[in-house]
Amino acid sequence: MPTGFYAEPNVFLTDQLLLNFQRCHRQAFLEVHGDAAARGQVNDFLLKLGEDKRRFQQDLLKDQTVARPSYPHHDWEAGAAATIDLMRQGVPVICNGVLLSHQPQRTQSQGPSQIFKTESVAYVSTPDLLMRRPGVSVWGDWRYVPVDIKLSKRPKLEYQILGAFHAQVLAEVQGGAVEEPWLYLREKGWYTIDLERVLPQMEELRAALLTMLLQKAEPEVFIARNRCGMCVWFDACYAIAQAEQHLSLLPGVTPTRYPVLKAYNLASVELLAQSDPSTLHAKTGLGHDVTRKLVSQSQAFVHQRPVFLTEALHSGILMSLPTTPIELYFDIEAEPSLNLVYLHGVLVVDRVRNEQEFFPCLAKAPADEEQAWWALVDLLSRYPDAPIFHFCAYEVQTVARLAQQYGAPHRFVESLQPRFFDLHAWVTRTAALPIESYTLKLIARWLGFEWRNAAANGAQAICWYSEWLETQNPQFLEDIVLYNEDDCLATYHVKDWLTQFLAEQVERHLPPIAAGF
């Protein structure tokens, strides 16, 4: 396939675009039609994941004879020609090959004129591996099957759909039937993709993506922080959402709930704040709890103040958030790719003496995880009556797992559970705050707390620990410990605010005798 044999395609529809489209239609659109100047830098954590995958791939292939096509970056025509040359030679394994299929598309112009035109589309597939096997192809008595290597613990549907895309483009390149593609997963090994089930889903998604790209139909902005935060287009999309005061900035407005609210002309925060929760429930079919939380959340946004969730008065939880002479604030740092917990940070607050001290139980190497665990056990045992405040369930789940893995005194394990207090659960069950997400960072920053290193976050800490293991530069460990200490301090800050806020609400909403706890 010599370069230039076909006219330059109107669109190169790549496997990466298909993956992006599954995660966010707008991201796929912007990769093709967006302003390159608005594109941000790739997140350090994503770069680390790419490096982790490269190393995993190297380990898998260390005993294999592997060929790689040589071509200029993103010159798909040249990459496809180089890959076909290797396939023609029948090399056993081709790594990072390019498969390309030109497909003319007949499209209809918008408007009354009904003009049809033919546009050229090139499907570009870049499977991690092409592995030779016996069979029949245009090359001879061998064929290739596509393999994608994933760090994921499970065969996510989005990866299976990419595998089906690889398989279909490969069939067009080498001739013959579509071969079942494979995934190779870090923990589970080989996984065969069921094409009969997945291929129709892939074709439907590919058609929708192609229509969007050819018609240049820009999707609406929708901010979902759990998946948007690391996207290179986040800043550009977020600026639009803020300018529009888009409803997706409101916690609880999910991609499935947003169209329901929009269908009832409730696409603004102000209109939602004026709604009656019971009427909203009857109109939309959303649950009673959901509509109450959505209305309270929108009111917090409109008035820029916290809104007390009065249903908490009847749940009994308001009576159980303690303030004691000694309190512990607990935060964990982990490296998921190594299945490693490398830091247990504990802030000890002495309210009587008005003192606080931070203790980092640190594993400087993966082999030190057990040592760090026993340091934590010793520290928590020194304060057997102190409540332990944390943010989200991860800390409790991890302590339970490590106690089972490395052991701990039976009495210690039994006594821990009632000492844990998850402040994330407490905040979300008792208050609606004028923030866009109930993360520790956003809550604490709304309260005026600031991290000493503004660039620090959980993903960055993982990158720093990887750099520490590689370079042994102590600055990386110092940055991690500082960040973890600030997480503990932020948790302390949130607890003190919440204690005061709830006391005020109880006094306001309950009779004096009931409020006197």
Instruction: Residue 428: give its domain's CATH number.
Output: 3.30.420.10
Cα–Cα distance list, 363 to 370, 401, 407, 413 (Å): 8, 17, 17, 21
Residues 376 and 330 in one domain: yes
**Domain ends where: 215, 239, 269?**
215
Half-sphere exposure of 444 (CA within 13 A, CB side): 20
In a domain, 140, yes or no: yes
pLDDT at 179 (0 to 100): 87
Residue 153 located in a structural domain = yes
281 and 150 both lie in a single domain: no
CB 172 within 8 A of CB 179: no
pLDDT for residue 206: 97
Considering the domain architecture, whether residues 382 and 487 belong to the same structural domain is answered as yes
Quick one: 211 and 294 in the same domain?
no
Query: Which of 273, 308, 343 is where one domain is finished?
Result: 308
Partners of 340 in the β-ladder: 335
350 and 470 fall within a common domain: yes
148 and 296 belong to one structural domain: no
Q: Has residue 257 been placed in a domain?
A: yes
Q: Is residue 477 part of a domain?
A: yes
How many degrees, rounded to 5, is the angle at CA 51 between CA 162 and CA 89? 60
Q: What is the model's pLDDT at position 8?
A: 65
H/E segment holding residue 115: none
Examine residue 418 and state whether it is found in any structural domain, yes or no.
yes
Q: Are residues 244 and 321 in the same domain?
A: no
Alpha helices by DSSP H, listed for 109-154, are none
pLDDT at 267: 82
Q: What six digits make up the tokens of 114?
A: 């009904």
Range of the domain at 351: 317-515
| DSSP-assigned beta bridge partners for residue 246 | 268
Residue 207 and residue 240 share a domain: no
The predicted structure's pLDDT at residue 511: 62
| Cα 513 to Cα 297: distance, rounded to the nearest angstrom | 30
Nearest by Cα to 380 from 399, 364, 401, 407: 399
Q: What long-range pairs does 455-460 form, CB within 8 A, spacing at least 24?
A: 456/482, 456/483, 456/486, 457/483, 458/333, 459/43, 459/44, 459/45, 459/230, 460/44, 460/45
Q: How confident is the model at residue 226, as a pLDDT?
A: 78
The amino acid that residue 491 corresponds to is T
Instruction: Assess contact for 295 and 280: CB atoms under 8 A.
Output: yes
Work out the burial of residue 2: count CB atoms within 10 Å of its CB; fewer than 13 is exposed, 13-18 middle, 19 or more buried: exposed
Which H or E run includes 384? none
CA nearest to 125, candidates 174, 89, 185:
174
- Is 161 part of any domain? yes
203 and 112 both lie in a single domain: yes
Buried b (16+ CB within 10 A) or exposed e, 454-470: eebbbbbbbbbbbbbbe
* Residue where a domain terminates, one of 263, 281, 308: 308
Residue 6 lies in a domain: no
For residues 365 and 244, membership in a common domain is answered with no
For residue 233, how many other CB atoms are within 10 A of its CB? Answer: 21
Same domain, 232 and 125: no
The pLDDT score that the predictor gives to residue 508 is 85
Query: For the chain, how many structural domains are there in total?
Result: 3
Tokens of 175: 């001739």
- 492 CB-near residues (< 8 Å, 6+ apart): 327, 329, 347, 349, 356, 389
Query: What's the rounded Cα separation, in Å, for the pair 130 and 99?
Result: 10
Q: Are 364 and 489 members of one domain?
A: yes
In the chain (517 residues long), the average pLDDT of successive 10-residue segments reads 51 96 96 95 90 89 90 94 97 96 65 55 96 94 96 94 98 92 93 96 97 95 88 95 92 94 90 94 94 96 94 71 96 94 98 97 98 97 96 96 92 90 96 96 97 95 96 97 98 97 86 51
Residue 2 within any structural domain of the chain: no
